[in-house]
């Protein structure tokens, strides 16, 4: 109260001044507060804008992150499908049975492809080859659909359910399957349609895309290829079975014929051996007496009788020679001769045979040339190979005209020695060359008719070389000469 | 040999019988003739649960068999796509109670767990459940809370319905799909971690309306819930819905500084969000995002923190299939890192599931997560 009284007692001008001062202070105070409020509002607006900006950035982050994740999922899905395809191919590429091939199309594979159901309807029989999770009424629906739209399905690689849903005429056949997303594709076997493969009820979140259609198309193509292979294999197998049975039949016939030939050959050998043996005893006796008679050991004979006896003696010699050769062949064939194949110096045998034939060679004025190294060891039966040389060189002397040349050669070649006996005689035709080693075969030429022989010598030679497991052959040209070749294994 | 208290084994043999025989041989070579209290098995589909039970009851003669089927398993530092993993605990001061029910009514669950808990007198106890696709998680959690209170170590692996695959359980003589549980009591030290790695993105929002079953968010900020995604995705929202990408962007509910992640299974036609979990109204949330790097980093940090120079005997992991979807090829790296930090002495087994149940450290109740790596760490002894 005292202060109020004091104020009232003051000059009214002072009072007015004080009031004005207070008012001015309050105005300034208010202004400063308003300034602060404005500043705070600005700050709030700034923060709000920043928050909005951050929220906008969050939008960008989520959108980019989602796109990246979708892209990654897509890549992973494609990779997964490629792996699936690789697994399917690797597990079925060598399958050659239809049932086994389709056993690979199981529920797991269909799920991994992104579908729940699958169906394979054969064409044109419309049998159900494969069914995963379809009901019988749904199967009938697809069969109807295939009947109505076969031309469309046949010409397309993959047909999607979208193709059918708007077709009024198919509404009835689609029936239960109308609400399912499915893919249809033909499996081609050669030029024909084997069946229609169906995938349905896509379980992928993004639904059926071009990737699913593409992989389905590849699988259908692959199955068609496998079916082609199976068909090819089956026809090849059938052909090979037929061939095998024919070969078996022919082999049996040949074996039978061979057995018969062997039996006949054995009989022949036994017969020849028996007859030859039986002939040799009286022949020895005949030869003995004929020789004694020709030598006039039983007294002088009239010239005419002596002449006839000489012919008898010569022919007995031939007969004895023939019987001996026949006996040798027969012994070799029946393996009665003991063959001793040992390391032998072939050059020494050749030289011994040359010495043996020198009187004959000289008398016929033939040049017998040896073209051999000093020493060459081969595996051979000494006596039998000597016989080979005697027979071949004897033949050569017979067919080589006076002044001609006989060359005996011997050269090592890889693991074998190649031995040759060439002459400059009349030669043979190709037909003769092929038959020359047959028993009793004699080449049909004028000279041969003059030259005496049994036709058994070369047959014996062939049998001896065969016994050694080696080869013998002849090369000849008419009027130029003949060369006999044979091989013997070299001693290492 | 024969002195271990627990042993783990693994087999990839194609046929169930020979796989179980191989596992049994390996377990016996570690445990010798000691009686086995629990055989805990995880197995991938295509192994026959019937043969698992029959062969195991002959070879190991374990008092309790608890086997869970899962699409992917964990053994030491590897993710297993086909095989059987087994962990056997000896009777060394361990008590086990197992149970199975086919359908979850709240009172059934409450009764079942109460009965089992009462019969276990040990101080240290924990529970492992496997929840099949037909199990109502909300009923399970309510029944469980009523039976054991909220301060109990509960771990679980939950599975959603997947095309063509059943989630079988073997609980002693029962082979079914349903809810199987084991409660373990005894002298051991038990720790657990749940590892996330998601970060919040954009403005926070409020869940304003939730369905009665607590598994469907109807409104966010008083608008249809799905629109929250539309706000961020614009015209890409339809593609987002069609491709089920929502599983990559969970909703994170902040809880004492941590985010609990809600897996959005689907955006329904009315734009409500269908999810697993016990969602409450008026909670503030964010859209969450993770990269492979944030997930891997979080595992390293969390496991290093819990390890802290301590060697556990065994680590049982319930990992998230959704998490693996984000990690892709780095999922193996996650397990390798984890095993590397835990060290040689700690045996690691585990499985992948659609969601996990674990105790929350902050609010002392059980929570459901879909993107977590949940791990139980055990050490035998009196602590």
Cβ contact (<8 Å) for B236 and A61? no
Contact check, Cβ <8 Å, A65/B243: no
Q: Which residue of B has its CA nearest to A54?
A: B202
Closest by Cβ to B243, choosing from A55, A58, A205: A205
Place of tokens 């004959």: A360
Residues of B in contact with A58 (CB under 8 A): 201-203, 232, 287
* Strand spans (E) along A308-415: 342-345, 367-371, 377-380, 405-413
Across the interface, whether the CB atoms of A107 and B164 are under 8 A apart is answered: yes
Rounded Cα gap, residues A333 and A427, in angstroms: 29
Q: Write out the two tokens for A481.
A: 């000469």
CB-nearest partner of B249 from A51, A62, A203: A62
Tell me the pLDDT tens digit for each residue of A234-275. Answer: 999 999 999 999 999 999 999 999 999 988 877 877 787 777
Q: Give the pLDDT band of residue A7 (cuts 50, 70, 90).
A: low
* Residue A117 Cα, gap to closest chain B Cα (Å): 12
More confident residue, B77 or B256: B77
Residue A2 has pLDDT above 80, yes or no: no
Closest-CA residue of A relative to B289 is A62
Q: Which residues of A touch B287 (CB under 8 A)?
A: 58, 62
Q: Give the Cα separation of A255 and A242 in Å (integer).
A: 20
Of A55, A66, A73, nearest to B236 by CB-CB distance is A66
Task: Note the pLDDT of residue A210.
Answer: 85
CA distance B104 to chain A (A): 29
Task: Report the b/e string of A366-390 with b at 16+ CB within 10 A.
Answer: bebeeebeeebbbbbbbebbbbbbb
* B18-44 confidence digits (pLDDT tens): 999 999 999 999 988 889 999 999 999
For A418-438, how does the pLDDT look when each residue is reduced to its tens digit (9 = 90+)? Answer: 999 999 988 888 888 888 888
Residue A170: band (very low, low, confident or very high) from pLDDT cuts 50, 70, 90: low
Burial label, B187 (beta-carbon count in 10 A; 0-12, 13-18, 19+) = middle
Q: How confident is the model at residue B256 (pLDDT cuts 50, 70, 90)?
A: confident
Q: How far is residue A183's CA from residue A199's CA, in Å, rounded to a whole number? A: 5
Report pLDDT for B157: 92
Tokens of A454: 């049994």
Cα distance between residue A354 and residue B347, in whole Å? 98
pLDDT at A442: 74
Instruction: Write down the pLDDT at residue B102.
Output: 84
Which chain A residue is nearest to residue B200, measuring alpha carbons? A58
B 212-231: CB under 8 A from A: 231
Q: Quote the DSSP letter at residue A490.
A: B
Looking at beta carbons, which residues of chain A come within 8 Å of B164?
Answer: 107, 111
pTM score, whole prediction: 0.61
Beta bridge partners of B380: B188
Give pLDDT tens digits for A323-340: 887 777 777 777 777 778
Which position has the higher pLDDT, B46 or B290? Answer: B290
Query: Is B4's pLDDT higher than 70?
Result: yes
Residues of B with CB below 8 A from A62's CB? 201-202, 232-233, 249, 287, 289
Closest CA to A316 of A293, A284, A292, A294: A284
pLDDT at A152 over 90: no
Inter-residue contact A127 to A114 (CB < 8 Å): no
pLDDT digits (tens, 9 = 90+) for A36-54: 999 999 999 999 999 889 8
Chain B closest CA to A91's CA: distance in Å? 18
B158-164 average pLDDT score: 73
- Cβ distance B233 to A63 less than 8 Å, yes or no, reads yes
Q: Residue B90 has what DSSP assignment? A: E
Q: Which of these, A439, A433, A446, A437, lies nearest to A474 by C-alpha position?
A: A433
Cis peptide preceding A124, ω within 30 of 0? yes
pLDDT at A472 over 90: yes
Helix (H) or strand (E) holding A485: strand A481-489
The pLDDT value given to residue A70:
84
| A471 in Cβ contact with A358 (< 8 Å) | no
Q: Which of the residue ranges A299-303, A305-309, A447-451, B112-116 would you say has the lowest mean pLDDT?
A: A447-451
Q: How many beta-carbon contacts under 8 Å exist across A and B? A: 56
Strand pairing category for B199-210 and B216-220: antiparallel
Q: What is the DSSP string of A92-157?
A: HTT---HHHHHHTS-HHHHHHHTEEEEEEEETTT--EEEEES--HHHHHHHHHHHHHHHHHHHH-S
> How many whole angstroms separate alpha carbon A383 and alpha carbon A370?
20
CB interface of B with A, residues 248-277, below 8 Å: 248-249
Residue A165 scores a pLDDT above 60: yes
Name chain B contacts of A59, Cβ cutoff 8 Å. Answer: 202, 231-234
pLDDT at B255 over 80: no
Q: 3-state class of B11 per DSSP?
A: strand
Least confident of A82-91, B1-10, B309-318: B1-10
Q: Which of A154-158, A302-306, A450-454 has the lowest mean pLDDT?
A: A450-454
**Burial class for A3, CB neighbours closer than 10 Å (0-12, 13-18, 19+):** exposed
Predicted local distance difference test score (pLDDT) of residue B287 = 92
Can you give the pLDDT at residue B3?
A: 65
- Residue B221 tokens, joined: 């900020």
What pLDDT was estimated at residue A172?
Answer: 64
- The mean of the pLDDT values for chain A is 86
Search chain A and give the residue with CA nearest B250.
A62
| Chain B positions in Cβ-Cβ contact with residue A61 (cut-off 8 Å) | 201, 289
Asked if B240 lies within 8 A of A58 by C-beta distance, the reply is no
pLDDT at A108: 85
| Residue A177, pLDDT score | 65
CB atoms within 10 A of CB A261: 11
- The residues with which B87 forms a beta bridge, in sequence order, are B8, B40
Comparing CB atoms, the residue among B203, B231, B233 nearest residue A66 is B233
This complex has an ipTM of 0.75
Quote the pLDDT of residue B341. 95
Mean pLDDT, residues B11-22 taken together: 93
| Nearest alpha-carbon partner for B62 in B116, B16, B30, B24 | B24
Mean pLDDT, all residues of chain B: 87
Residues B52-69 have pLDDT tens digits of: 999 998 998 899 999 999
Read off φ and ψ for residue B76, nearest 5 degrees.
55, -110
Nearest chain A residue to B239 by CA: give it: A206
pLDDT in tens, B290-345: 999 999 999 999 999 999 888 999 999 999 988 898 898 899 999 999 999 999 99
Q: How far is B297 from chain A (nearest CA, A)?
A: 19
A66–B231: do the CB atoms touch at under 8 Å?
no
Strand blocks (E) in A242-356: 342-345
A256: how many CB neighbours lie within 10 A of its CB? 10
For the stretch B89-104, pLDDT in tens is: 988 778 898 888 887 7
- Higher-pLDDT residue of B215 and A176 is B215
- Here the tokens at position B356 are 């996990």
Is there a contact between A194 and A121 (Cβ–Cβ < 8 Å)?
Answer: no
Q: Across residues A204-210, what is the average pLDDT?
A: 80
Phi and psi at A310, nearest 5°, equal -60, -40
Q: Which stretch, A68-72, A210-214, B146-150, B317-321, has highest mean pLDDT? A: B317-321
């Amino acid at each position: 109260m005292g202060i109020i009284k004091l104020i009232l007692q003051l000059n009214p001008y002072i009072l007015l001044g004080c009031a004005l001062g207070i008012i001015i202070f309050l105005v300034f105070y208010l202004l400063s507060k308003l300034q602060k409020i404005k500043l705070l509002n600005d700050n709030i607006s700034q923060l709000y804008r920043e928050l909005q900006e951050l929220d906008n950035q969050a939008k960008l982050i989520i959108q980019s992150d989602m796109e990246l994740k979708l892209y990654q999922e897509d890549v992973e899905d494609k990779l997964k499908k490629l792996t699936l395809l690789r697994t399917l191919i690797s597990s079925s590429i060598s399958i050659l049975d239809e049932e086994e091939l389709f056993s690979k199309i199981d529920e797991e594979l269909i799920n991994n492809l992104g579908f729940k159901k699958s169906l394979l309807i054969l064409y044109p029989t419309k049998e159900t080859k494969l069914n995963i999770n379809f009901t019988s009424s749904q199967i009938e629906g697809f069969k109807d659909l295939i009947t109505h739209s076969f031309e469309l399905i046949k010409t397309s690689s993959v047909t999607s359910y979208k193709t059918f849903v708007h077709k009024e005429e198919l509404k009835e056949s689609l029936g239960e399957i109308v609400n399912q997303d499915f893919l249809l594709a033909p499996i081609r076997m050669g030029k024909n349609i084997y069946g229609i493969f169906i995938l349905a009820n896509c379980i992928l979140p993004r639904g059926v895309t071009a990737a699913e259609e593409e992989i389905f198309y590849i699988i259908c193509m692959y199955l068609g290829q496998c079916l082609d292979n199976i068909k090819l294999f089956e026809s090849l197998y059938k052909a090979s079975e037929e061939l095998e049975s024919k070969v078996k039949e022919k082999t049996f016939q040949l074996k039978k014929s061979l057995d018969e030939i062997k039996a006949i050959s054995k009989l022949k050998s036994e017969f020849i051996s028996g007859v030859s043996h039986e002939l040799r005893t009286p022949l020895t006796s005949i030869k003995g007496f004929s020789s004694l008679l020709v030598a006039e050991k039983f007294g002088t004979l009239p010239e005419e009788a002596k002449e006839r006896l000489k012919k008898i003696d010569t022919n007995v010699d031939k007969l004895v020679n023939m019987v001996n050769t026949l006996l040798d062949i027969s012994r070799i064939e029946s393996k009665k001769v003991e063959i001793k194949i040992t390391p032998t110096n072939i050059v020494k045998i050749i030289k011994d045979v040359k010495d043996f034939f020198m009187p004959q060679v000289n008398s016929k004025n033939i040049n017998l040339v040896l073209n051999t190294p000093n020493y060459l060891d081969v595996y051979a039966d000494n006596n039998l190979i000597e016989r080979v040389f005697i027979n071949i060189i004897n033949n050569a002397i017979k067919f080589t005209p006076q002044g001609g040349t006989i060359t005996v050669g011997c050269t090592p070649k890889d693991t074998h020695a190649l031995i040759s006996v060439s002459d400059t005689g009349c030669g043979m035709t190709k037909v003769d060359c092929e038959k020359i080693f047959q028993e009793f075969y004699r080449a049909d030429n004028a000279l041969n008719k003059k030259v005496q022989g049994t036709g058994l010598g070369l047959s014996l030679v062939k049998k001896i070389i065969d016994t050694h497991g080696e080869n013998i052959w002849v090369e000849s040209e008419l009027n130029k000469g003949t060369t006999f070749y044979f091989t013997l294994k070299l001693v290492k | 040999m024969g002195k271990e208290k627990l042993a783990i084994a693994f087999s990839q043999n194609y046929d169930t019988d020979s796989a179980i025989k191989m596992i049994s041989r390996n377990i016996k070579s570690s445990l010798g003739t000691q009686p086995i209290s629990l055989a805990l098995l995880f197995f991938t589909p295509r192994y026959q649960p019937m043969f698992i039970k029959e062969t195991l009851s002959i070879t190991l003669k374990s008092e309790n068999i608890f086997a869970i089927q899962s699409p992917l398993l964990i053994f030491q530092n590897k993710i297993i796509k086909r095989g059987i993993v087994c962990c056997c605990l000896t009777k060394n001061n361990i008590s086990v109670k197992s149970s199975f029910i086919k359908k979850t009514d709240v009172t059934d669950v409450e009764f079942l767990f109460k009965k089992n808990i009462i019969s276990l007198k040990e101080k240290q106890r924990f529970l492992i459940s496997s929840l099949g696709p037909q199990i109502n998680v909300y009923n399970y959690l309510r029944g469980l809370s009523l039976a054991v209170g909220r301060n109990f170590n509960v771990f679980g692996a939950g599975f959603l319905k997947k095309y063509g695959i059943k989630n079988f359980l073997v609980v002693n003589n029962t082979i079914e799909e349903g809810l199987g549980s084991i409660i373990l009591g005894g002298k051991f030290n038990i720790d657990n971690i749940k590892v996330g790695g998601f970060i919040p993105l954009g403005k926070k929002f409020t869940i304003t309306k939730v369905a009665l079953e607590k598994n469907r968010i109807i409104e966010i900020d008083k608008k249809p819930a799905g629109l929250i995604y539309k706000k961020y995705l614009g015209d890409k929202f339809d593609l987002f819905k069609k491709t089920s990408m929502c599983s990559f962007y969970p909703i994170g509910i902040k809880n004492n500084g941590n985010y609990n992640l809600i897996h959005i299974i689907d955006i329904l036609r009315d734009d409500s969000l269908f999810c697993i979990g016990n969602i409450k109204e008026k909670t503030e949330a964010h859209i969450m995002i993770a990269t492979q790097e944030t997930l891997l980093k979080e595992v390293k940090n969390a496991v290093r923190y819990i390890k802290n120079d301590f060697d556990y005997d065994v680590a049982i992991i319930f990992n998230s299939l959704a998490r693996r979807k984000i990690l892709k090829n780095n999922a193996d790296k996650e397990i390798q890192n984890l095993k590397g930090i835990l060290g040689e002495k700690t045996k690691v087994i585990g499985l992948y599931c659609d969601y996990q149940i674990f105790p929350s450290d902050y609010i002392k109740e059980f929570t459901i997560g879909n993107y977590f790596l949940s791990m139980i760490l055990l050490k035998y002894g009196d602590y």
